[in-house]
């Protein structure tokens, strides 16, 4: 089996190579180099140390190493998507699009197509299950709970470590992408991964986890937005009273549900609405204002990850942001081509543009996804 391992120089992807070698697999190692390039110049993601460690891993384990430059693809797909979403007042998720369009999109088109599997350091799992046909003579109402005479179906499943689970970042992948993936550390806690790295003497054993927009790298999000959208002063207004509480530097720096970064006294204050035309932020005070919460979430672009029909309406678990917690809800079609989640509890900070990830009722299998509208 030919395996391509995507290695970033961090501890997670480094341990992936170690585990593959223990299984008798010698992967080819790829470092994906990306950045942001436009008419004003070039912003690079500092990668020298990452590449040095990745090359060390390749040499140590006797793997072939190749650097793949996807700068242009990253700009055309992820950066432009992020800028345009923010300009429209939406809350984008560049990590989701980076996984779909770069790691498992452009890379697969360029090099991954030559391999049977692509291994990464994501905290997720792959499960192959048989489907139970609830109503064989009618509409296919499928439940991945049985081993009746049905074909195996590959599911994206949550990681053992609930805090590190990254299935929400992978939820926009297509089925053809999912069936090629390997997540060797998905069955481990983060602490176990670091212990393996330390025992193996890997140089990434004590490296901090990276954060930021540059492939989870080094660029500050607000600096990135400021570069392309600039600053424009606007009012911060209390929703209930219309009182002007302060000013901000542009609605594009703020998201629905945001609490930090408003610099208002007498808080807590939460962003509950944005007026895009007038560049006004509306905020509400307190931990439980009515305007801050909602229990119905409408999704567009809804699709199931596995080739199965979901028996709507159905009880599910779901997430609308990257947290360890799941929410219970009822998933149903609205009749206008959209899908709605009726949450079993009030949800704070429902932001248009973000992605909702739908799980089975055990909060284990990823069933579907859609963009909040």
What's the confidence (pLDDT) of residue 110? 94
Instruction: Determine contact, residues 95/355, Cβ cutoff 8 Å.
Output: no
CATH number at residue 71: 3.40.50.620
Tokens of 304: 């199931």
Residues 163 and 248 reside in one and the same domain: no
Residues 93 and 166 reside in one and the same domain: yes
Residues 25 and 102 reside in one and the same domain: yes
Residues 245 and 304 reside in one and the same domain: no
Sign of the alpha-carbon torsion through 15, 18, 24, 29: positive
Task: Tell me the percentage of the chain whose pLDDT exceeds 70.
Answer: 87
User: Residue 35 — pLDDT band, cuts 50, 70, 90?
Assistant: low
pLDDT in tens, 281-306: 999 986 555 656 788 999 999 999 99
Catalytic residue among 45, 63, 142, 214: 214
Instruction: Output the CA–CA distances (angstroms, integers) from residue 294 to 208, 282, 317, 338, 345, in the order listed.
Output: 36, 16, 16, 18, 9
Annotated active-site residue 214? The verdict is yes
Q: Are strands 152-157 and 65-69 parallel, antiparallel or unpaired?
A: unpaired
Kindly tell me if the per-residue pLDDT of 211 is higher than 80: no
In a domain, 219, yes or no: no
pLDDT in tens, 112-131: 999 999 999 999 999 999 87
In a domain, 50, yes or no: yes
Catalytic residue among 63, 98, 142, 373: 98
Tokens of 104: 């498992």
pLDDT in tens, 120-165: 999 999 999 987 644 433 333 444 444 344 578 999 999 999 999 9
Look at the block and give the residue holding tokens 């009880």: 315
CATH number at residue 240: 2.30.30.280
What's the confidence (pLDDT) of residue 286? 64
- The boundaries of the domain holding residue 18 are 3-124+159-199
234-237, Cβ contacts within 8 angstroms, sequence gap of 24 or more: 234/278, 234/279, 234/280, 234/281, 235/279, 235/280, 235/281, 236/262, 236/264, 236/280, 236/281, 236/283, 237/280, 237/281, 237/282, 237/283
Kindly tell me if the per-residue pLDDT of 32 is higher than 70: yes
pTM value is 0.87
Residues 366 and 298 reside in one and the same domain: yes
| Average pLDDT along the chain | 87
Q: Are strands 355-359 and 366-372 parallel, antiparallel or unpaired?
A: antiparallel
Tokens of 320: 């609308």
pLDDT in tens, 169-188: 999 999 999 999 999 999 99
SS3 361: coil
Annotated active-site residue 98? The verdict is yes
Instruction: Output the CA–CA distances (angstroms, integers) from residue 371 to 55, 123, 173, in the order listed.
Output: 38, 22, 13
What's the confidence (pLDDT) of residue 71? 85
Residues 69 and 163 reside in one and the same domain: yes
Rounded to whole angstroms, the Cα distance separating 319 from 325 reads 7
- Number of folded domains that form the chain: 3
Residues 58 and 90 reside in one and the same domain: yes
The torsion angle over the Cα atoms of residues 24, 107, 80 and 41, rounded to 10 degrees, is 100
Rounded to whole angstroms, the Cα distance separating 142 from 132 reads 6
Kindly tell me if the per-residue pLDDT of 308 is higher than 60: yes
């Amino acid at each position: 089996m030919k395996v391509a391992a995507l290695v970033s120089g961090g501890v997670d992807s480094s341990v992936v190579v170690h585990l593959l070698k223990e299984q008798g697999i010698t992967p080819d190692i790829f470092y994906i180099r990306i950045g942001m390039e436009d008419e004003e110049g070039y912003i690079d993601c500092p990668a020298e140390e990452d590449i040095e460690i990745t090359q060390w891993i390749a040499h140590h384990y006797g793997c072939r190493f190749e650097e793949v430059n996807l700068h242009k693809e990253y700009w055309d797909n992820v950066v432009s998507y992020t800028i345009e979403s923010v300009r429209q007042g939406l809350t984008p998720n560049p990590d989701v699009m980076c996984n779909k369009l770069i790691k498992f999109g452009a890379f697969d088109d360029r090099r991954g197509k030559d391999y049977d599997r692509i291994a990464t350091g994501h905290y997720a799992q792959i499960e192959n299950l048989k489907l139970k046909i609830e109503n064989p003579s009618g509409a296919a109402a499928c439940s991945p709970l049985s081993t009746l005479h049905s074909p195996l179906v590959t599911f994206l499943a949550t990681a053992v470590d609930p805090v590190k689970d990254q299935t929400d970042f992978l939820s926009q992948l297509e089925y053809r992408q999912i069936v090629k993936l390997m997540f060797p550390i998905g069955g481990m806690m983060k602490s176990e991964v670091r212990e393996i790295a330390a025992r193996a003497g890997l140089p990434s054993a004590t490296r901090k986890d990276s954060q930021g927009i540059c492939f989870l790298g080094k660029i500050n999000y607000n600096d990135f937005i400021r570069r392309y959208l600039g600053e424009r002063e606007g009012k911060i207004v209390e929703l209930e009273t219309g009182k002007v509480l302060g000013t901000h530097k542009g609605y594009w720096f703020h998201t629905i549900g945001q609490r930090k970064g408003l610099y208002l006294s007498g808080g807590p204050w939460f962003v509950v609405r944005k007026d895009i035309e007038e560049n006004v932020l509306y905020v509400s005070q307190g931990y439980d204002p009515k305007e801050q919460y909602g229990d119905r979430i409408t999704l567009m672009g809804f699709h199931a990850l596995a080739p199965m029909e979901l028996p709507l309406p159905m009880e599910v678990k779901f997430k609308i942001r990257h947290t360890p917690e799941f929410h219970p809800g009822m998933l149903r079609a609205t009749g206008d081509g959209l899908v709605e989640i009726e949450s079993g509890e009030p949800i704070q900070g429902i932001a248009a543009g973000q992605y909702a990830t739908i799980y089975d009722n055990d909060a284990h299998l990823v069933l579907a996804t859609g963009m909040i509208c």
